[in-house]
């Protein structure tokens, strides 16, 4: 039986989230956010992972005292919860408040490979 995308992409998203946590614990919040962005790109086709990553971005914004990012993440979390299942996800979008939530962006080759593997059920 073929695994769902959400289950298949989980190890890839979790690896990026682990890296984010490590970077933040090491005192590098900017690098931590870059890993959250990577997790967003990889998991955004899954409502579960899309919402979870935006929630983690929101918590990051609170810890960094970044009110603009926090507000942006609230809006993006609602969008992720209501639009992902409809396929209304701009491929490659990094998910931060510094980019339009509707903007398609190029996907790094390493991340594209993760997405392909997950779509193939690996």
Helix axis angle, 5-25 to 29-43, nearest 10°: 180
- State how far the alpha carbon of 89 is from the alpha carbons of 1, 19, 65, 70, 115, in Å: 26, 24, 28, 20, 14
Q: Which SS3 state, helix, strand or coil, does residue 111 take?
A: helix
**Integer Cα distance of 94 and 34 in angstroms:** 9
- The answer to pTM > 0.75 is yes
Res 122: pLDDT: 72
Residue 86 domain-assigned?
A: yes
Q: How does pLDDT run across 41-87, given as a tens digit for each residue?
A: 999 999 999 999 999 999 999 999 999 999 999 999 999 999 999 98
Work out the average pLDDT over 8-25: 98
- Structural domain range at position 51: 5-116
pLDDT exceeds cutoff 80 at 31: yes
Structural domain tally of the chain? 1
Q: What is the pLDDT of residue 121?
A: 86
pLDDT mean over 90-97: 97
Tell me what percent of the residues of the chain surpass a pLDDT of 70: 98
User: Residue 60 falls within a domain, yes or no?
Assistant: yes
Which helix (H) or strand (E) covers residue 84, if one does? none
**CA separation for the pair 8, 81 (Å, rounded):** 20
| % of residues, the chain, pLDDT over 90 | 95
- pLDDT of 1 > 50? The answer is no
Q: Is residue 13 included in any domain, yes or no?
A: yes
**Residue 27 included in any domain:** yes
In a domain, 33, yes or no: yes
- Decide if 80 is inside a domain: yes
Q: Look at residue 121 and tell me if it is in a domain.
A: no
């Amino acid at each position: 039986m073929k695994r769902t995308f959400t289950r298949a992409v989980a190890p890839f998203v979790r690896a990026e989230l682990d890296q984010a946590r490590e970077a933040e614990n090491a005192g590098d919040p900017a690098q931590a956010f870059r890993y959250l962005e990577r997790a967003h790109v990889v998991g955004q086709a899954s409502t579960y992972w899309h919402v979870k990553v935006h929630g983690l971005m929101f918590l990051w914004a609170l810890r960094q005292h970044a009110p603009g990012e926090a507000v942006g993440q609230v809006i993006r979390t609602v969008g992720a919860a209501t639009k992902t299942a409809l396929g209304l996800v701009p491929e490659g979008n990094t998910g931060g408040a510094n980019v339009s939530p509707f903007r398609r962006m190029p996907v790094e080759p390493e991340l594209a490979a993760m997405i392909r593997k997950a779509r193939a059920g690996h």
